[in-house]
Amino acid sequence: MKKLNAEALIKIIILFGYSIFSINSIRTGKIKLYVHPRIVPFIIFGIIVMIIIGMISVKDLCSAYKRKVRFSKYLIYIIPLIMAFSIKAKAIDSSMIRNKSITINQNTNSMASASKTQNIDYSSISPSEGKKLNIEGNTIIVNDENFVFSLDELNENIKKYEKMKIKITGFVYKDKSFKENEFVAARFMMTCCTADMQVVGLMCNFQNTKALNNDTWVEITGKLEKSDYQGQVSACIKVDSIKKISKPDNQYVYPFVNK
């Protein structure tokens, strides 16, 4: 009876291991903690390819190799696989971007370079053609689906929307460069993957900011006004009310998503 080909077995375990992890991440929705939703179809294609290669490799299990198996050369694949199954996936928080520089009103052309650093960005993406703000009555509603577009539209056309009511949800972000009555109603924006994550949101003016802790999730209602931050004009919310809320299932927002 022939012995199993250990090297072929290792390759099959690696291929099926990554396939199982990817399938489970897509099934549970955790894949959105790692990559932008537009990347998921490519991951599904990769899963199919890995499964096919793994199935083809089964026939090699009984073709014994004379040479010794160099297990060490597979560690670069095995170690990340073990970490993927053993480390619990969770959303990042503002502590990961503390002490970073802050960029206000960043335009589309500078976005690529900004994605290499985790900065505050109040515009980040140019408005999509044909898109409009979600306005109910005289209130602008900023939600998960339109978060990035709304920020850019409001900052580029603040004169048009000044004095209008607005409702927005996000987490509290305070920076040492802000005034005592300032904080940002923020979300983490993923352009491609967690490596390019950056904070986006609207500056808020609130007299009792000291009572708010970083990373506290809130629903804010208020009135839009112009603000000057380090010589740049941007949209700001004069807060009327703040209500603490639970963290959403998905704490990230994404540009380039058609809803």
Distance CA 53, CA 44 (A): 14
Both 110 and 80 in one domain: the answer is: no
Model pLDDT, residue 95: 65
Model pLDDT, residue 63: 73
β pairing state of 135-136 and 139-142: antiparallel
Strand, coil or helix: what is 190? coil
Both 136 and 14 in one domain: the answer is: no
Query: What is the pLDDT averaged over residues 225-235?
Result: 80
Domain assignment of residue 15, given as a range: 6-86
Average pLDDT, the chain: 81
Model pLDDT, residue 67: 63
Q: Which tokens in the block code for residue 146?
A: 């339109």
Model pLDDT, residue 103: 39
Both 157 and 215 in one domain: the answer is: yes
Looking at 86, 105, 139, which one is the last position of a domain? 86
Q: Which tokens in the block code for residue 208?
A: 């009792």
Model pLDDT, residue 120: 47
pTM reported for the whole predicted model: 0.73
Model pLDDT, residue 250: 81
Domain membership of residue 165 (yes or no) is yes
Query: What is the pLDDT averaged over residues 52-79?
Result: 83
Torsion of CA 201, 202, 206, 211, to 10 degrees: 0
Both 142 and 201 in one domain: the answer is: yes
**What is the tens place of the pLDDT at every residue in 80-126?**
999 988 888 777 776 665 554 443 444 333 443 344 333 444 444 44
Query: What is the pLDDT averaged over residues 136-153?
Result: 89
First to last CA, the chain: 59
Does 183 have pLDDT greater than 70?
yes
Query: What is the pLDDT averaged over residues 191-219?
Result: 88
